[in-house]
Copies of this chain bind each other. A is one copy, B any other.
Amino acid sequence: MPALITYRTPVQEDWVDYNGHLRDAFYLLIFSYATDALMERIGLDADSRGQSGHSLFTLEAHINYLHEVKLGTEVWVQTQIIGIDRKRAHIYHSLHRNDVEEALAASEQMLLHVDLAGPSSTPFSARTLQALDQIIEQQRDLPTPEHVGRTLRLPNAKTKQ
């Protein structure tokens, strides 16, 4: 199975800079909407109808910008679950468009399962765990993506480092 498609959108006018290119923060907004969609899929709906009382908070994210994206371009997000423990999920989003094989951007993220009543971290429910396990099983044959486990470094930097 290919990576799960979690979100599709054209690049909106509010998201581009004066040159008509998607601003860095709005790549992450698209990934944030993809995380919302993933939450719905695993029983963590945030809307008033489906309120589960639980949510995922982003603890940490790493993003690689690989290509510029212009106003109006139709893009989609593919999502892969890299690993989970009792209450955390390590996930990977990549941004794509037609006619470009390589990803436009990639972001790995660490998400924490939270009981909103605290808010405090809490183990995944049986229902959520089952949904996560199902995705992991479907993605078992996908290779580990390229932009996972990255560290920012500037070799031969001038200054004290």
Q: Which residues of A approach B to under 8 Å, CB–CB? A: 17-19, 23-26, 28-29, 31-32, 46-47, 57-65, 68, 81-85, 88, 90, 108-110, 116, 119, 136, 140, 144, 148-154, 156-161
Q: Which residues of B contact A57 (CB under 8 A)?
A: 65
Residues on B with C-beta less than 8 A from A24 are 28, 32, 58, 61
**A82/B136 in contact, CB under 8 A:** no
Which residues from chain B contact A110 at a C-beta distance below 8 Å? Answer: 152, 154
As for how many copies of this chain the complex holds, the number is 2
Across the A-B interface, the 3 shortest Cβ-Cβ residue pairs: A83-B157, A25-B29, A25-B28
Complex contacts, A158 vs chain B, CB 8 Å: 83-85, 136
